[in-house]
Amino acid sequence: MTKKLTIAFLGTNYHGFERQKNAVGVQNIIEDTLFKILGEKISVDGCSRTDKGVHAREFVLSFQTENSIDDNRIITGMNHFLPPDISVKNAETVPDDFHARYSCTGKEYEYLIYNSRNRNPFYENLALLYGVKIDEKILQEAVMPLIGEHDFRSFCGQNGIRENTTRTINDIKIKRKEDLVSIIVSGDGFLYNMIRIIVGTLLEINEGKRKLECMSEILAAHDRKAAGRTAPAEGLYLNRVYYD
């Protein structure tokens, strides 16, 4: 039977989600824990790849098992054995054609910026410390050309270039609550480092290194060198994963 797990994790202590040979990925921990619960060597499929230090409030996994254990016992058992920075939120039996990655129809990411010159221990490794004052209204205007279907090759890290780099961004919202600035991006899928490059480019606009209208030109260039820097991983969260 096919199982769907929804988990959450802090990525600070992990080398991304995917299984690693010479480092620890979240997948290593999940599969080891499933073995303890199910007594089977399980290989899980994740909804996304994440870089070292990236977090997830909602991350979906799927796997095959012959064990008929109750879903609630999977949740309770796994949360008993998992470290404090990984948690199982839900488990359910799904149709056999379900796949965490290939059945996914969209995702929502959030990038958090602690907009202050002074460190805050409560945001350490959880938000980017950034001392230049952000004008969120200007950045909201700057990001609008990215909404819709475009070739986002300019916003793709070199290690992730694919033949098809066209994606659809449904919405981008930039919000502020006191010193915390949130950039929320939803779409049908994202290229390698795409969100972090968008954020890095916005920060360069904020610093006056790029003009407000540059996003359209960057899209048209189809060249990673046309976009800005890649923002650090610690501010990025996978917020939601969508399925039909």
223 is annotated as an active-site residue:
no
**Phi/psi-derived region of residue 70, left when phi > 0, alpha when psi is between -120 and 50, beta in every other case:** beta
- Give dist(CA 114, CA 133) in Å, integer: 10
CB atoms within 10 A of CB 137: 10
φ/ψ of 56, rounded to 5, equals -145, 125
Alpha carbon of 167 to those of 28, 147, 174, 214, 239: distances in Å?
30, 10, 20, 19, 18
**Phi/psi-derived region of residue 23, left when phi > 0, alpha when psi is between -120 and 50, beta in every other case:** beta
φ/ψ of 198, rounded to 5, equals -60, -45
Indicate the residue type of 111.
Answer: Y
Q: What is the 3-state secondary structure (H, E, C) of 70-135?
A: CHHHHHHHHHHHCCCCEEEEEEEEECCCCCCCCCEEEEEEEEEEECCCCCCHHHCCCCEECCCCCC
Q: Mapping DSSP to helix (H, G, I), strand (E, B) and coil, where does residue 136 land?
A: helix
Structure tokens at 81: 């054995």
Catalytic residue among 32, 45, 51, 70: 51
Q: Which residues are catalytic?
A: 51
